[in-house]
Amino acid sequence: MDYLIPNAWAQAAGTTPQGGLASFLPLAILFLVFYMFLIRPQMKRQKEHAKLVKELAKGDEAVTSGGMLGKVTEVGANFVKLEIAKDTEVKVQKHAIAQVMPKGTLKEM
């Protein structure tokens, strides 16, 4: 039966696998790279967006994540009313606000 299934022999005695810090180092370096280039910048953007949403006030000119530009007319706990045209208001979630524009942006458009 040796011609169909080859024999599996044990490894020679006396050889020890390299372990410890040397095998853990690439994993630690990979985690450090992920933290520096992915995790930390994302956390920074989240904090900036949370601050923007918290400081949102009536009269601000804002852009939603969908690209709608309007003036904030009412700020609630979870929702904001935007006036996108004269006598036209839409209600959007606070977290849908992507950016607060400088005052006077709507007049330029």
Is residue 105 very low, low, confident or very high in pLDDT (cuts 50, 70, 90)? confident
Q: Where are the domains of the chain?
A: 21-108
Is the Cβ–Cβ distance between 75 and 58 less than 8 Å?
Answer: yes
SS3 99: strand
23 bridge partner residues: none
69, two tokens: 């530009």
pLDDT on residue 82: 95
72 bridge partner residues: 82
Over residues 4-19, the pLDDT tens digits come to 777 777 777 665 556 6
Over residues 63-95, the pLDDT tens digits come to 999 999 999 999 999 999 999 999 999 999 999
The pLDDT mean for the chain works out to: 87
Which pTM does this prediction carry?
Answer: 0.68
What's the CATH class of domain 21-108?
A: mainly beta
